[in-house]
Amino acid sequence: MRELATGAQRGAFDEWVDMMREWHRELDVIPDPAVTLTTKFADSVPDEIGFGRYAGHRRWERVADIPAPAIKDELLRLIVWQGDSEVRAVEQARALLDSAPTDHDRDRLARHMTEETRHGWQMAYLLVTHFGDEGRAAARELLERRATRGEALLEMFNVRLNWVDVFSWHNWGDRVGKYQLTMFAGCAFAPFARSIAPMLKEEGFHLVIGYQGMQRICAANRVPVELHQRYINRMLAICYDAFGSEVSKRAQKIHDWGLKAPWGDGIDNPSHANEQVRAAFIDEARKLLGLLNRLLPEDGPHLYLTDPRFNRHNGPYAGQRWHGPEQLPTAEDEAALLEICKQAGWIAPGEKRSQLGENREGA
Ligand SMILES: [Fe+2]
Ligand SMILES: [Fe+2]
């Protein structure tokens, strides 16, 4: 058995699982039986660290193998933040479950919530199994914070969503997750690296939920494009922030210590690691918006890519006055949207194999 669980560790994890069940009860969430709540590890990852100052060394199987306490602390923090994002996503989605536009959407959201629970489970398992008392406390705290109280570590999970947001959210926000996880697959700490491939597979489905939902909104064309754009602006600005500052000493350190691989084929200046991956995300977002525009009438308004300088809260553009066309949704938009979403047909029906074409996410 690959995992290091001793009797005491297994006992501690069982306690965590009980706590998780209590958390589900409090949220009134019934896990989707199609998703098994369990740890999943990729069969293998390369034996050697691929980048940073330990490149060529063997990956670390145990916390005791980590060469310095500061590296262990940073790794713990990364796993805690990843785990927090997973379980806060469940809390954030919970409020939407009862107002789903169709059963199809409700079922998909429920599956999404259970898969995010599994990802939280996976991170809690790493914390409890590998990080001693500190890890057990961190795993417990994962279930003590609440997105509904604004306690998510990443601000993006404290945002209240409506059903137009939710698709945008899965399309953009889970896509940020896809990029982050892909980079963590290179992590020098092997149990974390092996956790990634199964998570990414499930994230692929979350991207489908988001992208197809946006396709269906565009195809129905009842939500005015300008209004949809303002909600996209809000989400994309949050997502741009989620990659971190354009130039970052911390990103440099995380790269140097082998904790997060650079996006793509490598990086010349690791202090620009955040910017490199954000640029890749932006390219993908631009392409997806182009595809969505094909579903809108040619002679009407079209969606556009939100400028990465708009409404930023980190990096050099934070707090700067913005002179471009981008705006955020207003209270009037929210009220208008509420009315639109009361009417049947505001979103095109979602089929398993949508007439709009199944996209290839997750394939
Ligand atoms: Fe996830
Ligand atoms: Fe996800």
Domains and CATH numbers, the chain: 7-342 (1.10.620.20)
For residue 322, report the distance from its CA to the centre of ligand 1, in Å: 33
CA distances from 32 to 18, 122, 180 (A): 17, 17, 26
In percent, the amount of the chain with pLDDT more than 90 equals 91
More confident position, 243 or 6: 243
For residue range 26-55, list pLDDT tens digits in order: 999 999 999 999 999 999 889 999 999 999
- Residue 363: pLDDT band by 50, 70, 90 thresholds? very low
For residue 115, report the distance from its CA to the centre of ligand 1, in Å: 7
For residue 139, report the distance from its CA to the centre of ligand 1, in Å: 16
In percent, the amount of the chain with pLDDT more than 70 equals 95
Place of tokens 């398993």: 352
Task: Pick the ligand that lies closest to the CA of residue 120.
Answer: 1
pLDDT at residue 10 in the model? 87
Phi and psi at 58, nearest 5°, equal -70, 145
Mean pLDDT of the chain: 94
Task: Pick the ligand that lies closest to the CA of residue 175.
Answer: 2
Determine what percent of the chain falls in helix, strand and coil, rounding each to the nearest 5.
60, 0, 40
What is the C-alpha to C-alpha distance for residues 145 and 116, in angstroms, rounded to an integer? 16
Task: Please say if the pLDDT value at position 361 is more than 70.
Answer: no
Task: Pick the ligand that lies closest to the CA of residue 181.
Answer: 1
Task: Pick the ligand that lies closest to the CA of residue 84.
Answer: 1
Q: Which of 190, 215, 224, 167 is nearest to 44 (CA)?
A: 190
CA 201 from chain centre, in angstroms, equals 13
For residue 81, report the distance from its CA to the centre of ligand 2, in Å: 14
For residue range 95-146, list pLDDT tens digits in order: 999 999 999 999 999 999 999 999 999 999 999 999 999 999 999 999 999 9
For residue 206, report the distance from its CA to the centre of ligand 2, in Å: 5
Task: Pick the ligand that lies closest to the CA of residue 93.
Answer: 2
pLDDT at residue 193 in the model? 98
297-306 — which CB contacts under 8 Å span 24+ positions? 297/221, 300/221, 300/225, 301/225, 301/226, 302/225, 303/218, 303/225, 303/228, 303/229, 303/232, 304/229, 305/236, 306/232, 306/233, 306/236, 306/237, 306/240
Per-residue pLDDT, averaged over 198-219, amounts to: 97
CA distances from 166 to 103, 212, 306 (A): 15, 12, 18
DSSP codes, 222-243:
-S-HHHHHHHHHHHHHHHHHHT
Per-residue pLDDT, averaged over 84-90, amounts to: 97
For residue 143, report the distance from its CA to the centre of ligand 2, in Å: 18
For residue range 247-270, list pLDDT tens digits in order: 999 999 999 999 999 999 999 999
Helix (H, G, I), strand (E, B) or coil at 266: coil
For residue 317, report the distance from its CA to the centre of ligand 1, in Å: 29
Q: Which of 71, 15, 50 is nearest to 265 (CA)?
A: 50
For residue range 106-116, list pLDDT tens digits in order: 999 999 999 99
- Please say whether the beta carbons of 261 and 50 come within 8 A: yes
For residue 4, report the distance from its CA to the centre of ligand 1, in Å: 24
Q: Which of 244, 226, 221 is nearest to 155 (CA)?
A: 244
Helix (H, G, I), strand (E, B) or coil at 189: strand
For residue 92, report the distance from its CA to the centre of ligand 2, in Å: 12
